[in-house]
Structure 1
Amino acid sequence: METHKKISSNVLALVFACLGMILGCVKENIVVETTEQVSITGYFEANPDKFSEFAAILDAANVSSVLNAYGLYTIFAPTNEGVRAYYQRKGKQSASDFTAAELRDLVLFHLLPDTIGTTAFTDGKLNRLTYYGQHLVTGVANVGGVSNTVINRQANLVEGNIAVNNGIIHAIDQVLEPATQTVAQLIESNPDLQIFARALHETGWYNRLNVLPAENPDPDSVRRWFTVLVEPDAVLAEAGFPTYEALRERFSHTGNPADPTDSLYLYVAYHVLPDARYLADIVSRTSHPTWAPLEVITSKYMGQEVLINDDIFNGMHEPGIGIDPAASDRSATNGVLHIAQGHFNIKLRSPIPVYWDLADQPEFRRLPGFRNGSLVHTVNLAQGGSHLEAIRWERDHIQYQANAGEGHFWGDRIMIPMSGTTNIRNHWVEFTTPLLVRGRYKVWVCYRTNPRAPIMQGYFNGVPLPRTLNMAEYNIGNTPEGEMEALGFKRHTNSSSNNFVGRLLGTIDVETTDRHILRFEGIAGGGDANGTWWDMIHFIPVDMDQLYPKFQPNGEIVQRPAN
């Protein structure tokens, strides 16, 4: 712990020294203009009724002069009442009862580089580390019907965004105290987490999670921080593991939990994420890598719940596991701790085909005319519309079109104006795929031909697909299905019309079981207001039937006829 503090202090001292050198080298005829507002230190001195105690801490820590000089800082300043409450908790009378080093560390934990206003306060960590080297977390708490902005679950915001000539001051009602335990120590010291703590020791993960970021030799700075999703003893007991021995018997297939290939080792690794990810960070993405190789957890926010691994797989809903919000977001010196409300582990799956109906989006399902009548629903960005959960696009609009024709699955489609040339149409569109199991797949885009559609280049997770997509292409006439497939075409419905095309774009390697990004960019032609008409995208394992099943306008799924 002491090593980390000294490094943080030395970094701050170096920053201050460099600033002084830079300012000292400015020629006399150059005038540095500032506002007539006072500095951070000057503001505290001008408001002794609120901040005389914190000003005394700055003086005793020998940082008053630094915060009276040029710079850009954000400081969370406890009021006099908050500082006195801190003295009482520590059994002290005044700042003089602390060492200068102790007070300097305290100031560093309240001080951040750059100016960070309250608009950046979300339910999660601030985007800059404190000079102490730990994150601050903000959120909103409702107590007795009154909502307050809370900092680090320790203090309420009294007054925010006090502008001074070298930064921003946020007044708070308590002194903030940094975490003093690593993630490993947080887990081990909690009597409700003893089974998982034992598993950490037996697998060797305790030592990895007991290292401070500044002491971690890993060159990848992101991986110097950890997030751990822990299953409490009660959860494990309910899942059939009342003791560590029961957990080991179930998972340790090699008999050596410290072996990185052992299932118990992988079970623990699957509960550890790189970086410090607070709940707001977790729900801001649909998936997160874990320390189990090539394995991810998925995440979503439903109602008031943060759920992990709540997925639709093979058309079936797999209920997720909640994260206890009251017991989670616990900061450690090297990361953050969350408490899972259920048992979860790596799911062993084999690749399966995914036949994705692009018109079947959650936002469209809520429409009264979904798959009914002649509904046309437009999502227009220019008129304040928003991207859909699984579809993003550059500009203009997209449309859901019901009763779009007899060749479409369920009779509906989405229309996206695309172009490779004109600036009034979309140059790109991105789809977030359903869950794809790790494996090798062929990718088919199923569409209705538009002779004025552009040529598009597809990308899977940023890697170009082997074949471009030209939605002006028609299907091949009365060619036998086997020959069509060899040429990269198929009929995804039983329609005999050549307007309805299944086009092979190539083979992809899905390296992690997850949702992925499929992007299309216009590279030539196009610009028709009717755009491109998208029906389905098929991801089919390379060793499976690529031509069946077929998908009918009435929702029927037709399997390959028996010989």
Structure 2
Amino acid sequence: MKTKLKKNWGYGLLCVAVVCCIQACQKINFRETTTEDVNITGYLDNNPETYSLLSDILYRSKTAGYLGAYGTYTLFAPDNASVSAWIKENGKNSLDDFSEDELLNFVRYHVVRDTINTLRFTDGKIKTPSLFGEFLYTDVQDGVFRVNKAAFVNRANILCGNGWVHGIDHVLVPPPLSLAELVESNSGYAIFTEALKATGFYDTLYYERGMEIPASKRFQTVIVESDAVFQEQGIMDFAQLKEKYSQTGDPKNRADSLWLFVAYHISNSGLFLEDIISASSIYTLAPKEIISTKLQAGKVLLNDDEFNGVIEPGAELLRVNSDVLASNGVLHESGQGISIKVRQQTPVYFDVASSSELRNALGGAYGNAGGLMTLVANGVPIANSFRFDRHDYLTMADNVYRYYGDLTNVRPYANGDFLDLSVGPGTANRVTWIELKTPYLVKGRYKVWICYAQNGNGVPMQVTFNPEKADEQILPNVVFFNQTLSASGISNADRGQPNADNLMLAQGYKRYMATVNDYNPNGHIGTKAMSGTYSDVNVGRLAGTIEVETTDRHIIRLEGLGTSWGQKFNTYLDMIQFIPADDVEQIYPRFYPIPGELFYRPQ
């Protein structure tokens, strides 16, 4: 027994030495402390030289009990110096001059009912609101964490029995102004302030604590254009803004363009920069209108899009004037003007494997003939555009999502590439569905064509638009990736007849690759024979018609059906085409292995 104890004692010293060495190698910008299972109240009581005033506030507000009991909390703890400064800033002499309710709100604003250490701090709001009911904001300045851009964290990650304590050097004060008042208080926002009042949105953005409002409108986001930005657009005052936008003369009319312009700058959710970057789009109060967002070269850009092959430069959010807290949300300032983009429906030919997001994810390997590329690693989706329902498929070496760049005469894929989707419903270690983020679709009705290269092992799939969302639409036609064009009822021999395309179209099928009867201005002749061997393996299948309610990027899910389909599960997805439902032309243009070469209907 004595030998065993000595041996364990030696191991203990070794572990301590290793931990000390590891910590010595880390650069820490603040003090980290742990306690011996004392709860938050006990920790403050045990450190009166730093937190005696905060401890006194807990007892006076009758919150010492729950912060000293079992639970999960995070306390941002202002030290004695900062509490003393706060007392003076309020024109008081001591804590005796505050009511119990005032001290209770003080504590509630500094406490989050969650255990949050600095690893969970982001450049944005803490995901759980404080007990006061409003969100706290964290960021980093000069390598040190800040809270609400006012208090630096000087003692971080103090682990107590019921949560974490983070020492701060300034008392956190709830924002005194609502979004409406915050905008109005800035003399550089005079034109926007008048627009808010004229349209009625000033009342929408006004809030006094204690007001009863719907939960969906409790926190909002407003993106302001300054007077300087308006002036760059030739708008010197509100009268000129109204003249430009208010076509009805009544800015409170929801059909009025000025009302829509202001509504487009407001969202019914409190979005910090971090939320805006990750969202990819902001849904505004303008009905079914969004602002697209992206992070590029460290800049947060709005409506910086590529639409129908045209680059549309956007506006930059000015970080120094953004993430400004109000009592009911967050204010941001745009460095350029933003307005609703009026767009007409246009066909969208989504070549899945050629999409820029997938090309970027392939790390420059795009275009290698016959290359096999894993499009997801360790269950992480690509650029938020390619998602799977399970992530254990990597346990099988042959079961990966692959990109093919190989050109063959048998299956001359559009732009020379396709995706081999190893989908196997009801089969161990195989995914059962995938989701793809579409290019921008202008609101309206579209026919959805799934274009594929037939393989006998291909899996039948159900297509769903915006799955698990309010506008979810399950398309009626199952796409059998193992079927050829013969499934249209038009035989191989008949596909060369003049009316064959229209007959196939009537059954929800079409050729999407250029045939040998197609020519384009560059002198190319289509590669697909009209009939004969392999003339029918490139298939366009109508999955159904969708109603796109909001101009945005949306989600398409392809879900495998059945239990077992062959051994290799080769499902060759080439394109997804979204063609306006009222567009008479559903067959052309046809595609070619060389990128950018299109074949239009002969005149």
Same fold (TM over 0.5): yes
**Structure 2 counterparts to residues 40-439 of structure 1, below 5 A:** 40-142=40-142, 147-212=143-208, 214-218=210-214, 221-366=215-360, 367-382=363-378, 386-394=381-389, 395=391, 396=393, 397-406=400-409, 407-439=412-444
SS in 2 for 1:515: strand
Query: How far off is 1:506 after superposition?
Result: 0.5
Alpha-carbon separation, structure 1, partners of 2:172 and 2:179: 19
Query: What is the Cα-based RMSD across aligned positions, in Å?
Result: 1.9
Please list the CA deviations of residues 125-159 of structure 1 after superposition, one character each: whole Å capped at 9, or x if unmatched: 112111112110112223xxxx1111111112223
Alpha-carbon separation, structure 1, partners of 2:316 and 2:388: 31
Moved more, 282-291 or 246-255: 282-291
> Is the CA contact (8 Å cut-off) linking 2:126 and 2:135 kept in structure 1?
yes
Alpha-carbon separation, structure 2, partners of 1:91 and 1:212: 23
* 2:449 equivalent to 1:444: yes
Alpha-carbon separation, structure 2, partners of 1:459 and 1:280: 30
Give 2:314's aligned amino acid.
G
Q: Structure 1 residues 165, 517: closer, same or farther in 2, change over 3 A?
A: same
Query: How far off is 1:92 after superposition?
Result: 4.3
Q: Structure 1 residues 527, 363: closer, same or farther in 2, change over 3 A?
A: farther
> Is the CA contact (8 Å cut-off) linking 1:460 and 1:518 kept in structure 2?
yes
Please list the CA deviations of residues 483-528 of structure 1 after superposition, one character each: whole Å capped at 9, or x if unmatched: 1111111111112321111111000000110111101111113364
Q: State which of 545, 549, 554 in structure 1 corresponds to 2:594.
A: 554
Moved more, 364-373 or 161-170: 364-373
Q: State which of 443, 460, 467 in structure 1 corresponds to 2:477.
A: 467
Give 1:40's aligned amino acid.
I
- Structure 1 match to 2:568: 529
SS in 2 for 1:197: helix
> Is the CA contact (8 Å cut-off) linking 1:419 and 1:527 kept in structure 2?
no
Moved more, 529-538 or 132-141: 529-538
Q: Structure 1 residues 224, 534: closer, same or farther in 2, change over 3 A?
A: same
Query: How far off is 1:326 after superposition?
Result: 1.4
Give 1:107's aligned amino acid.
V
> Is the CA contact (8 Å cut-off) linking 1:299 and 1:309 kept in structure 2?
yes
Moved more, 74-83 or 386-395: 386-395
**Structure 2 counterparts to residues 482-521 of structure 1, below 5 A:** 482-494=502-514, 495-496=528-529, 497-521=535-559
> Is the CA contact (8 Å cut-off) linking 1:466 and 1:506 kept in structure 2?
yes
SS in 2 for 1:498: coil
> Is the CA contact (8 Å cut-off) linking 1:417 and 1:527 kept in structure 2?
no
User: How many pairs were matched up?
Assistant: 522
Identity within the alignment, %: 39
Give 1:337's aligned amino acid.
L
> Is the CA contact (8 Å cut-off) linking 1:45 and 1:52 kept in structure 2?
yes
Alpha-carbon separation, structure 2, partners of 1:528 and 1:265: 59
Please list the CA deviations of residues 445-498 of structure 1 after superposition, one character each: whole Å capped at 9, or x if unmatched: 111111111111110012211111111111233431111111111111112321
Runs of 5+ in structure 2 lacking a partner? 1-34, 394-399, 468-472, 487-491, 515-527, 530-534
Alpha-carbon separation, structure 2, partners of 1:279 and 1:179: 18
> Is the CA contact (8 Å cut-off) linking 2:453 and 2:573 kept in structure 1?
yes
Query: How far off is 1:286 after superposition?
Result: 1.6
Q: Structure 1 residues 216, 100: closer, same or farther in 2, change over 3 A?
A: closer
**Runs of 4+ more than 6 Å apart:** none
SS in 1 for 2:203: helix
> Is the CA contact (8 Å cut-off) linking 1:184 and 1:209 kept in structure 2?
yes
> Is the CA contact (8 Å cut-off) linking 2:424 and 2:569 kept in structure 1?
no
SS in 2 for 1:433: strand
- Structure 2 match to 1:19: none
SS in 2 for 1:434: strand
Query: How far off is 1:66 after superposition?
Result: 3.4
Please list the CA deviations of residues 70-106 of structure 1 after superposition, one character each: whole Å capped at 9, or x if unmatched: 3322211012233234345445443234333322221
Q: Structure 1 residues 39, 558: closer, same or farther in 2, change over 3 A?
A: closer
SS in 2 for 1:65: helix
Alpha-carbon separation, structure 2, partners of 1:263 and 1:45: 60
Query: How far off is 1:199 after superposition?
Result: 0.2
Moved more, 503-512 or 113-122: 113-122
Alpha-carbon separation, structure 2, partners of 1:319 and 1:387: 24
Runs of 5+ in structure 1 lacking a partner? 1-34
Give 1:486's aligned amino acid.
A
Alpha-carbon separation, structure 1, partners of 2:380 and 2:570: 19
Q: State which of 579, 582, 591 in structure 2 corresponds to 1:540.
A: 579
> Is the CA contact (8 Å cut-off) linking 2:321 and 2:332 kept in structure 1?
yes
Query: How far off is 1:36 after superposition?
Result: 6.8
> Is the CA contact (8 Å cut-off) linking 1:74 and 1:113 kept in structure 2?
yes
> Is the CA contact (8 Å cut-off) linking 2:354 and 2:415 kept in structure 1?
no
Alpha-carbon separation, structure 1, partners of 2:382 and 2:148: 32
Q: Structure 1 residues 445, 164: closer, same or farther in 2, change over 3 A?
A: same
Give 1:529's aligned amino acid.
K
Name the larger-Rg structure. 2
Give 2:305's aligned amino acid.
D
> Is the CA contact (8 Å cut-off) linking 2:591 and 2:599 kept in structure 1?
no
Q: Structure 1 residues 530, 213: closer, same or farther in 2, change over 3 A?
A: farther
SS in 1 for 2:279: coil
**TM, length-normalised to structure 1:** 0.89
Moved more, 332-341 or 522-531: 522-531
SS in 1 for 2:115: coil
Q: Structure 1 residues 150, 362: closer, same or farther in 2, change over 3 A?
A: farther
